[in-house]
């Protein structure tokens, strides 16, 4: 047994020596230029998800509560009447107002927490109660927005609803196929 321990120790010592010898070379090979640009166009760009999410939100033309969004191309094929378009516009405006309210609430809550931290006094119980109150308020506002989208859905004719239903079914099939391909590999 003593032979195995010594071989392991020699192996570890060898690896450590190799790393120690290569580290100065790696540091020396790296340019010490302050103007070096970081390439953020790769797969792990931390802002890519945000850009993708924004583009996805812009493409939402109609939201079916409980099922999800429908894109502009599909929605434009419906040829809505003026009254139908007014209900959709009202739902979209309500959705945008909800998003703006959520953003401003989050910003003010963060500023309040930062102010408490700067003062050196924090109250976790009050913060939890404020968070719960905000959640309840936002939940109610989301239900109001969903009600607007339901009114827009009910204003559609049966054929128009069928087109949207088929678009959702097609998306489901596409995702199902993608999941099956992913699980097979």
Query: Which tokens belong to 11?
Result: 């192996």
Q: E-assigned strands of 28-165? A: 60-64, 68-71
The angle subtended at Cα 164 by Cα 158 and Cα 168, nearest 5°, is 135
pLDDT tens, residue by residue, 102-125: 999 999 989 999 999 999 999 899
Cα–Cα distance, 27 to 87 (Å, whole number): 62
pLDDT tens, residue by residue, 69-92: 998 999 999 999 999 999 999 999
Contact 73, 159 (CB under 8 A): no
Per mean pLDDT, which range of 11-15, 55-59, 138-142, 155-159 is the poorest? Answer: 55-59
**Does residue 56 surpass a pLDDT of 80?**
no
């Amino acid at each position: 047994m003593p032979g195995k321990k010594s071989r392991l120790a020699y192996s570890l010592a060898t690896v450590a020596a190799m790393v120690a010898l290569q580290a100065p070379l790696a540091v020396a090979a790296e340019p010490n230029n302050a103007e070096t640009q970081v390439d953020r166009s790769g797969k792990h760009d931390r802002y890519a998800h945000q850009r993708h999410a924004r583009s996805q939100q812009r493409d939402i033309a109609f939201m079916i509560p409980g099922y999800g969004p429908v894109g502009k191309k599909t929605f434009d094929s419906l040829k809505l009447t003026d009254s139908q378009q007014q209900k959709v516009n009202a739902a979209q405006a309500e959705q945008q107002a909800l998003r703006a309210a959520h953003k401003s609430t989050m910003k003010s809550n963060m500023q309040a927490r930062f102010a408490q931290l700067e003062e050196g006094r924090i109250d976790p119980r009050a913060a939890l109660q404020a968070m719960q109150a905000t959640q309840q308020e936002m939940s109610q506002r989301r239900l109001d927005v969903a009600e607007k989208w339901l009114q827009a859905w009910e204003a559609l004719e049966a054929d128009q609803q069928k087109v949207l239903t088929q678009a959702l079914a097609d998306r489901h099939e596409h995702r199902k196929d993608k999941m099956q391909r992913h699980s097979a590999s």
